[in-house]
């Protein structure tokens, strides 16, 4: 997740009752909200994928970390357990 920094500010959309308000806030204030809130990915507003507590939608990008596939268990060669 990376906020789009515009001269120390980030654009956001906030839920205000049944309406939405678009504004900007300081990057530090946005980071504080993100640290204390619950983050989800949102597609509700194009360009604002970072949703905090279902109330704040921040402009930025969400990077999806690629997970390594689990290592396959080692397979014993045929007949190896019969030797001995």
pLDDT by residue (tens digit) across 9-36? 999 999 999 999 999 999 999 999 999 9
Confidence of residue 63 (pLDDT cuts 50, 70, 90): confident
Burial of 43-65, coded b for 16+ CB within 10 Å and e otherwise, reads eeeeebbbbbeeebbbbbeeeee
| 14 touches 56 (CB < 8 A) | yes
Pick the more confident residue, 82 or 15: 15
Confidence of residue 67 (pLDDT cuts 50, 70, 90): low
Q: What is the pLDDT of residue 65?
A: 63
What tokens were used for 54? 């279902």
Name the pTM for this structure. 0.72
């Amino acid at each position: 997740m990376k906020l789009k920094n515009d001269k120390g500010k980030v654009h956001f959309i906030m839920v205000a009752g049944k309406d939405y308000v678009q504004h900007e806030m300081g990057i530090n204030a946005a980071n504080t909200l993100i640290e204390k809130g619950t983050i989800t990915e949102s597609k509700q507003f194009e360009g604002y994928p970072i949703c905090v507590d279902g109330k704040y939608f921040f402009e930025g990008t969400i990077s999806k970390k690629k997970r390594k596939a689990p290592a396959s268990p080692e397979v014993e060669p045929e007949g190896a357990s019969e030797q001995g």
